[in-house]
Amino acid sequence: MNRFVKTGAAWGCAAWLLSACGGGSSNISNNQSGGGSEINNADAAALPGWTLVWQDEFEQAGLPDSSKWVFDTEFNQRGWWNGELQYYSQNRRENAEIVNGKLVITARQERLTSAADYGNQNYTSARLMTRGKASWTYGRFEVRAKLPCTLGTWPAIWTLGTGGAWPADGEIDIMEQKGFNVAEKRQVLGTIHTSANHAGNSLGAYRALPTACTDFNTYQMTWDANKIVIGVNGVDYFTYNNPGDGNPSQWPFDKPQYLLLNVAVGGVLGGAVDNANLPAAMEVDYVRVYRRS
């Protein structure tokens, strides 16, 4: 999604171009190749050379763990970016709760007119982030999730720079799913946003994924000083290389980024909303962050 050029909870570009993961890019290729928490190190066995440094397995039913996640509600009253239609609630189990070992982020057709920051939205959802709780410079990120099939939903797994300036501090969209038609629900995309590459010049790629909204798939991003590699189910499909010229407009990714999970409604990548098939949810099985051993 894209964020706004002010500090705060999402990533930034011009007001119209902000979103919840990294979206709205006209130059994305169709090339398909292309905190302190208890750590279960047994989970790192499948990744030799990596050490698990942060995780949420969503084992405790109820609201998300407040020691790891905060709710982003900053732009509810003014309205969210990219033409999005949702109100992001806080500590509301109807929009974000842990059930049967899964984090469920649910978009609903409803008006929370009693909320103090209500912005006249016809939909609710949730946007969770680790800002102020955990951030990382380099590592491997893995998120296992099942995406919504309902048209008009726009789920995202992404990171933003802790400096709060968008696009100067960079954005990494590990996974976004468009919502315009059934075919787009069967593919995902990964995108990079920087000062030199954002809005219509964003860099990324699509990946065909027929089971995106019917099964759980593992979305991963590997990030080091030389490159960022985005993939799904162990298959990499997009690489962004550090140009190596020291220009932060091309490579702001030598500073910490924090993680976001959300389901937007409508907007430049969500499209027209199929109200008849709401509520709709993204289910997250786990989030794991590794550092090279």
Amino acid at 66: S
DSSP assignment of 33-64: --------GGGGGGSTTEEEEEEE---S-BS-
CB 204 within 8 A of CB 23: no
57 classed as catalytic: no
Residue 225: both structure tokens together: 């000083």
CA separation for the pair 213, 154 (Å, rounded): 12
DSSP state of 89: P
Residue 104: both structure tokens together: 């469920």
142 classed as catalytic: no
Q: Which of 84, 142, 176, 283 is catalytic?
A: 176
Q: Which of 84, 97, 142, 171 is catalytic?
A: 171
CA separation for the pair 35, 39 (Å, rounded): 11
Report the Cα–Cα distance between both ends of the chain, in Å, rounded. Answer: 31
Q: Please state, in angstroms and as integers, the Cα–Cα distance from residue 43 to each residue in 46, 81, 166, following that order.
A: 7, 37, 34
Q: So which residues are the catalytic ones?
A: 171, 176
